[in-house]
Amino acid sequence: MSNSTNSPRILLHFIRATLAILLMLGISGCIPQVYEYYRPDYPGGENHISGKCNGPKDTVLIPYHGIFFDIRITGQDNFSIYFRIPEGMTAQLKSDMAELVIHSARHDSKQTIKLIPVSKLFLQSATQSMRGGSRKRSFLWLEKDWYETYPFKAEQEPMIEGDSVILILPDIYINGVAFPGLQVPFRKDRSLEFDALNC
């Protein structure tokens, strides 16, 4: 049998398979989504998703001198920094001002960001001392360490348009010792994800 006879059959099988997959996704409540986001590129950091369902790995967990940073500059919950402080540790930012260095093909720019606590329950300002705490949390058969968490956001959400971004955090005191602020690079990327309709 010639290739010209097989080609329409192969195409028909491909179309049927594609329609079957789309139908199954529709029945299961999933839809394909293309996300444009900034992917963290920090060496030694652990990238993970920020949303409760699927999505791109737009958040990075960074260990730093005994404490942890969870950082995202765009995404489902926009700009956020979570300080995760273990038992016996303290951390304190020297300043409440961070900086974004944005690079694009046309030009480079800088934005200054004022960091503020998400909740005033534990901190009134970003430069107050953060005290650590640790305990175990169980989910199904998994047990994980949980550390005292202090979430911060930008006072005014930054407008980010560029190919890459470097977030420069203020210097920080950890157990009274001064350390330079983290410099976290991000790169613009796209991600195709299948999201549940009830997320």
Compute the distance between CA of residue 63 and CA of residue 44 in angstroms, rounded to an integer. Answer: 8
pLDDT of res. 3: 53
Q: What predicted TM-score, i.e. pTM, was given to this entire model?
A: 0.76
Residues 177 and 94: their CA atoms lie apart, in Å, by: 11
Name residue 38's beta-bridge partners: 188
Q: CA 182 to CA 179: how far, in whole Å?
A: 9
> What is the pLDDT, as a whole number, of residue 122?
83
Strands (E), 13-163: 30-40, 46-48, 59-64, 67-72, 80-85, 90-93, 97-103, 108-117, 130-131, 134-139, 142-154
What's residue 127's pLDDT?
Answer: 96
C-beta atoms surrounding 102 within 10 Å:
19
Of residues 11 and 181, more confidently modeled: 181
**pLDDT tens digits for range 57-114:** 889 999 999 999 999 887 545 789 999 999 999 999 999 999 999 998 888 999 999 9
Angstrom distance (rounded) from CA 34 to CA 3: 36
Structural domain count, the chain: 1
Range of the domain at 52: 3-196
